[in-house]
Amino acid sequence: MKNIVIVTTGGTIAMKKLPAGVDITPEGNQEIMELEGLTNLAQVKMVEFANLPSPHMSPQLMWQLSRRIQGLVDRDEVDGIVVTHGTDTLEETAYFLDITVLTKKPIVLTAAMRNINELGTDGPRNIFSSIRVACSTQAIGAGAVVCLNDEIHAAREVNKTDTSNVATFESPGFGPLGIVDEDGVFFFRKSTVRYHIPTTKIEPHVALLKTYTGDLGEFIDYAVDKGYKGIVLEGFGRGNVPDTIINSLKTAIQHQVAVVLVSRAYKGRVLDIYSYEGGGAYLKKNGRDSGPRANGPKSAHQTDGGLGKDFSYRRDPGLFRNGQLLQDERERQLERFYPKDARGKRGSGSEKGVWHYGLCVFIRLERLRLYDPAGFRRR
């Protein structure tokens, strides 16, 4: 029987309907361990990391959670991890863990849209299904995944799409990785665009701004004045913005603020094809860089922290096979950023490394560099 650790963080899955409304209860996380039939699936241990509503999650807490999980998966007796979380920010935490925890062991994040004492609560079913995924050999090497409503989604691709429906999590443009059925766990595909980034530091001063028709750039100016190190801007379509914010963007770049442009569209890539003022090609010529195929919140987190120190990292095609960093290069990165001590154990790492949350954006202090994760080429 597999050994699975459930790491609890709170969320609706641990909440109850109280007289004043749905809220956290001190015993909410513990009640997960009291579900009937849980021990028939695996040897289960619970670690209570936090008991918070997920809007209270922060990059700093995500980093602490990442380090806690890294410590757990480094133990030989642990076969997999299930993380219980609130749905509102689950996709961000899942994305964070996917690139900051170095392991092939399954990491499955789950949640509930209905609280513990609500009619038709989905929490128990989601926990059972997630444990089954964490026990599955098919989940080995799949990275962090999200499992709700008997569907399995890649952390990079998944989005919460409905405010109340139990089938809220979808992967627009991609679809689920697999499903959980009565007779087993079934993966139909794997996300090949994955890698680990060694990290020791985060920089929380990154703003997420959404542009709109009539935008005059005041919020960009405000972020620059307040000393933000990075701005992720949700533009239109292929990555275009109103011409009325161009001067604000130029000012931000002149102040060495990293500007990453993503699209407010759920599907498709940002690409510099329009040369008119405010178009993607025009912006690229003037120092803006485009983000990966990810939504605004994920792209905002991916810029958190890469500005903390000078960190140059070239993604060499020779180091990758099917989107996976080759083992010898993984070891080289580990030795560089997490050197072994005299006893041959890896410590928490030196201060050489810098954490950068994202799939293809790499920061140097003087310039933002972008690499295409599919073709391993700079764009």
- Beta bridge partners, 321, equal 324
The Cβ-side half-sphere exposure at 338, using a 13 Å CA radius, reads 20
Provide the pLDDT confidence category of residue 339 given band limits of 50, 70 and 90.
Answer: low
Average pLDDT of the chain to the nearest whole number: 81
Q: pLDDT (tens digit, 9 = 90+) per residue, 235-253?
A: 999 999 999 999 999 999 9
Q: Measure Cα distances from 270 to 194, 236, 283, 349, 362 in Å.
A: 19, 9, 12, 35, 17
What's at 26, amino acid-wise? P
pLDDT-above-90 percentage for the chain: 60
pLDDT at 340: 66
Between 193 and 191, the more confident residue is 191
pLDDT at 349: 37
Q: Catalytic residue positions?
A: 12
DSSP collapsed to 3 states, the chain:
CCEEEEEEEECHHHEEEECCEEEECCCHHHHHCCCCCHHHCCEEEEEEEEEECHHHCCHHHHHHHHHHHHHHHCCCCCCEEEEECCCCCHHHHHHHHHHHCCCCCCEEEECCCCCCCCCCCCHHHHHHHHHHHHHCHHHCCCCEEEEECCEEEECCCCEECCCCCCCCEECCCCCCCEEEECCEEEECCCCCCCCCCCCCCCCCCEEEEECCCCCCCHHHHHHHHCCCCEEEEEEECCCECCHHHHHHHHHHHHCCCEEEEEECCCCCCCCCCCCCCCCHHHHHHCCCEECCCCCHHHHHHHHCCCCCCCCCCCCCHHHEECCEECHHHHHHHHHHHCCECCCCCECCCCCCCCCCCCCCEEEECCEEEEEECCCCEEC
- Beta bridge partners, 210, equal 234
Query: φ and ψ at 163, to 5 degrees?
Result: -75, -20
pLDDT at 203: 77
What's at 262, amino acid-wise? V
Least reliable range by pLDDT among 105-109, 220-224, 319-323, 367-371: 367-371
pLDDT of residue 352 exceeding 80: no
Least reliable range by pLDDT among 161-175, 214-228, 258-272, 353-367: 353-367
pLDDT at 292: 47
Between 263 and 315, the more confident residue is 263
- Beta bridge partners, 363, equal 368
pLDDT of residue 149 exceeding 80: yes
Look up residue 95 and give its two tokens: 């994305």
Residue-range domains of the chain with CATH: 3-187 (3.40.50.1170), 197-379 (3.40.50.40)
d(CA 260, CA 240): 12
pLDDT at 332: 58
pLDDT of residue 143 exceeding 90: yes
Provide the pLDDT confidence category of residue 219 given band limits of 50, 70 and 90.
Answer: very high
Query: φ and ψ at 17, to 5 degrees?
Result: -80, 115
Mean pLDDT value of segment 101-109 = 96
CA dihedral 227, 231, 235, 239 (to 10 degrees): 130
Provide the pLDDT confidence category of residue 371 given band limits of 50, 70 and 90.
Answer: very low
Q: pLDDT (tens digit, 9 = 90+) per residue, 14-42?
A: 999 999 999 999 988 989 889 999 989 99
pLDDT of residue 204 exceeding 90: no
pLDDT at 186: 98
pLDDT at 295: 56
pLDDT of residue 209 exceeding 90: yes
pLDDT at 364: 26
Between 16 and 196, the more confident residue is 16
Burial class of residue 48, CB neighbours in 10 A (0-12, 13-18, 19+)? middle
pLDDT at 287: 63
Q: pLDDT (tens digit, 9 = 90+) per residue, 256-299?
A: 998 888 898 888 888 889 999 999 888 888 765 544 455 555 55
Q: Measure Cα distances from 34 to 14, 96, 109 in Å.
A: 12, 29, 19
pLDDT-above-70 percentage for the chain: 75
Between 276 and 378, the more confident residue is 276
pLDDT at 341: 64
pLDDT of residue 82 exceeding 70: yes
pLDDT at 181: 98
Q: End-to-end alpha-carbon separation of the chain, Å? A: 47
pLDDT at 330: 52
Between 376 and 112, the more confident residue is 112
Count the Cβ atoms, other than its own, within 10 Å of residue 36.
7
pLDDT at 228: 93
CA dihedral 174, 93, 3, 28 (to 10 degrees): -120
Between 304 and 227, the more confident residue is 227
CB distance 210 to 296 below 8 Å = yes
Q: Measure Cα distances from 208 to 14, 141, 300, 359 in Å.
A: 29, 31, 6, 17
